Chains A and B, each alone.
Chain A
Amino acid sequence: MSTPKPTQPATVAPGEIQFLDSIQPPLTAGAYTFEVSQGIEDVPEPVEPYRAAQPFEVLGPRFSLDPTSISSVFPPADQLGTYQNVQPHVVFTEFALPWSRRLDPAAGLADGPGDGADDAPPPWLGLLMVYPDELWGVTAPRTVTVEELVSPGPGIVPPDLGDTVDPTSQEPVAVVDVDDALFKSIAPYLDELPFLAHARVVNTDGKVLLGMAADGAFSLVTGNRVPMVSADGPSIHTMLLVSYEGHQEHLPTPGGSGGAGGEKIRLVLLGSWTFTTPATSISGSFLGLTQALCNPGNGGVGLLQLPQAGDVSDNAVAEEALQIGYVPLQKRLRDGETSTTWYRGPATPSPTERDRTYGPYHSSDHALHYDPATGLFDDSYACAWQIGRLLALSDAGFAQQLFEWRRDYLRELARVILDADFRAPMVETLTRPSGARTVERPGVTGSFTSALRELFAAMPEGVLPQIPKSPPRGRRPSTSGLPGALPSDRLSAWADGGDDPLDLLLDHLQSPENR
């Protein structure tokens, strides 16, 4: 198991968890002093020893916790779940946190490991679970000053922190006041405290191990109470992570004595969370319920098929249909007639063979089956088709993406066809070097012109009229007939004259020969 007082995490094999009683820091939190003295001996006149003192303080969390020091809590915060019989716990990333401070601040500070003072030192913090019907006994958490913590007023018992705090300190601290009777009934006994904290060292070997993903040493504080269940509805449990420092005399003792002796006890609140257990409609354990499936009145375990209510052995069709998972349903035909039809969902009690010899189906009626021997329809696949279509239509994003994908693909295909059937042979023919102007098609030799002629002759019917025609340069109409075109002599006149070209153009267009 573990040595009684380990002071540092040991090495743990991959996939293993080591449980430790405690991980004690070399020095617990508190004020310390180094004292040095140097004496000189064997001198004629005695010399007063030189002395020096250096006070120092070991700091540790006391009135608040850094939230990052909490690794996880269980049951998880704000969760609903069947947590009956679960002992709640908090996992701290600071592996020595529960033992970093003495429960009794007046007991003096540890000299270091191995001083033999305590074999199992009690942790200074603990978890209290408050049931929903006990919240009357707990005040809402509020922030006070340390001064108000140690002198809270009549009827409220403060922690006995002695001279380890400045009684006038204005440092803020979160507290709850718990009814003394309630505290006595739910708080652990002093000698139970050590059993409510331990440390563990985890080597997950890179895999999530029992919900733990992080390696290293952690400390844990567990509660001493299990959640309740109520028939009336869900029960919200409040978990309080409190400091017992200075409360060692106020913890309950067996036999009902002990307690603080006031009306309320003031506790430093280091954290809190809630979780919920459902109403007791769920009775019994997981195993009990899963084993009860086969009890009379329950559905049992089996394949997904209709129970045979009557004897159908005289009807081979019905018997087989029921065996392979079909359900007879009433169907309203389009002409108003009602008929019985077979239906089977995607979940069948017997394996089916995938049939791809026929497909795809283009409409739901396409997938309708009709058995002329019995006059019965089988609507299964027609239903599936229709559901697939309706779901696709109901998702506009999918519908658009599918449509665009298909359109883009068909466009690309059209381009490929254009390239393959027309552009490529054309380019090949036209760019062939002049020395090799022979068309390499069987039976065709000759000049470029004959090659072109051959090419066009080989075009699929209907392609030729689509080829855009460009008239030869010689047949292009002359620019002289264009009204906006200026004769060259007038252009040069304009270039020399420096008139506004727009005026020139206007004059030209309005001139009689252009009317």
Chain B
Amino acid sequence: MSSPIPRPQSLARMSELLLAAQREHPRLGARDGDAPPLRLPEPVLRWLAQLSLLYGVPFEYLVPDARLLPVESLRFFYLDRNWLDRLIDGAISIGTGSTLDNVFNEAFFEQIYAEVDLAQVNLRSELRRAAAPVPTTVGGTLTGFLFRSTVVTGWPGLEVRPVRDGEPLPILRLDPLGDGILLGIFDGVPDTVELIEPSEGLHFGVLTPPPVGSDGDFFVNLRGLGFGGHPAGQQIPDGDGFLRAVGGFRGGGARGVLAVRDLVAEVTRVLPEGALGPDGALTPAGFALQMVRGAGRQTYSSLGELAPCGDTPPKTVRGTTKETTE
């Protein structure tokens, strides 16, 4: 590289310009200063944004002591932005061959932080090839959770929904870390976090275990069919829970074969008067609607003042499906 390596006598002048450039962020508007605008190349920016969301950071540095995250536990946390800034400092410290490079870092570190803060918000949507959210605030408080449970292994598509004042918060990262540990990072401080059983789209199935005292093998929460004052697709309340039909498996040889005709008869019997419509018979479509399976949903409230286990058990909301039929 032969060409204009800056000469030593202009170092003071360059430092002066670099510091001037730092004062006025070029992306915030036109500036008539002498320094060219600073633009982080896209790949560098994305790399730094990933770093700031702890991609690649060894797990031992997140959880330095096993007692922080025992088996079957859920731990919420705030992200320490100073820690993340030090990560960036370390990353941009490479290849500093001269004082000038150090001056460069010194001049631009805040601008780099700011750009990384913005890219960090867009990273997940970029990875998912979705439209970028419109960030209302950039560089705000980041929070997250670590979930260590067999649930992570057993339900790979586990959905997480952080909510603040009823509005869902953006999820910046949601990744399993090794076996049975899930890391989530949110933009903002949620007051409620819901863990939702992966719904995998509209599908059919039964629920277990069967109610205590029944001789069945499973049950189905019954839904209205749009007749008799029961809105179509909504589970019919019954006391604390929902109206259920208990079904069993067909006897004789094979396991797991649903006794469909018995189940049809049982659903017909259990459904309240008038719910079956004028015909009084359960049709294939009506049966399919009963077999639609909703997703389980577990809510954990109030990150800020999360009560330890025992004092106030987490609220539970049983899943209801959102299908509607008319």
The residues of A with any CB-CB pair to B shorter than 8 Å are 1-2, 4, 12-13, 15-22, 72, 74-76, 80-82, 84-87, 89, 120, 129, 131, 134, 181-182, 184-186, 188-189, 191-192, 194-200, 210-212, 220, 222, 224-228, 254, 256, 278, 281-282, 285-287, 289-294, 297-307, 325, 327, 329, 343-352, 354-356, 359-364, 367, 380-393, 395, 397-399, 401-403, 405-407, 409-418, 420-421, 460, 462, 466
Contact = CB atoms under 8 A, between A and B. Distances in A.
Contact of A304 (B68, B109, B257, B322): B68
Contacts of B153: 278, 282
B17 A351 contact: no
B257 A381 contact: no
A2 B283 contact: yes
A403 B41 CA distance: 11
Interface residues of B, number: 141
Interface of B: 1, 3-7, 9-10, 13-14, 17-18, 34-36, 38, 40-41, 43-44, 47, 51, 54, 56-58, 61-65, 67-96, 100-102, 104-106, 109-110, 113, 139, 141, 144, 146, 148-151, 153-157, 189, 195, 197, 199-208, 218, 225-227, 232-233, 250, 252-258, 260-261, 264, 277, 279, 283-289, 291, 293, 296-298, 300, 306, 308-310, 313-314, 316, 318, 322-326
Given A278-B154, A294-B309, A307-B67, A346 B35 contact: no
Contact of A302 (B18, B105, B306): B306
B4 A186 contact: no
Given A85-B205, A195-B260, A293 B72 contact: yes
B90 to A, nearest CB: 3
Nearest to A130: B254
Contacts of A222: 204, 288, 291
A226 B256 contact: yes
A211 B283 contact: no
A22 B287 CA distance: 12
Given A285-B296, A294-B309, A294-B314, A392 B94 contact: yes
A303 B285 contact: no
Contact of A413 (B18, B47, B141, B146): B18
A120 B57 CA distance: 60
Nearest to A256: B252
B208 A82 contact: no
A421 B6 CA distance: 14
Contacts of B139: 354
A385 B93 contact: yes
Given A225-B258, A360-B89, A411-B4, A89 B82 contact: no
Contacts of B204: 86-87, 89, 222
A347 B261 contact: no
26 contacts: A1-B226, A1-B283, A17-B233, A19-B325, A182-B254, A200-B288, A281-B150, A299-B75, A300-B73, A301-B306, A302-B74, A303-B75, A303-B77, A304-B76, A346-B54, A346-B61, A347-B144, A362-B105, A385-B89, A391-B56, A398-B44, A409-B38, A412-B36, A414-B5, A416-B17, A417-B34
Nearest to B56: A391
Contact of B91 (A87, A389, A410): A389
A287 B289 CA distance: 22
A384 B3 CA distance: 36
B253 to A, nearest CB: 4
A185 B257 contact: yes
A398 B76 contact: no
B82 A303 contact: no
Contacts of B80: 344-348, 352, 380
A5 to B, nearest CB: 11
Given A85-B208, A210-B201, A413-B14, A299 B70 contact: yes
Given A192-B264, A362-B96, 18 more contacts: A199-B285, A200-B288, A210-B202, A224-B260, A226-B256, A286-B155, A287-B297, A290-B151, A300-B309, A346-B54, A347-B75, A348-B78, A363-B93, A384-B61, A391-B51, A392-B90, A413-B36, A417-B14
Given A89-B203, A350-B78, A388-B90, A417 B17 contact: yes
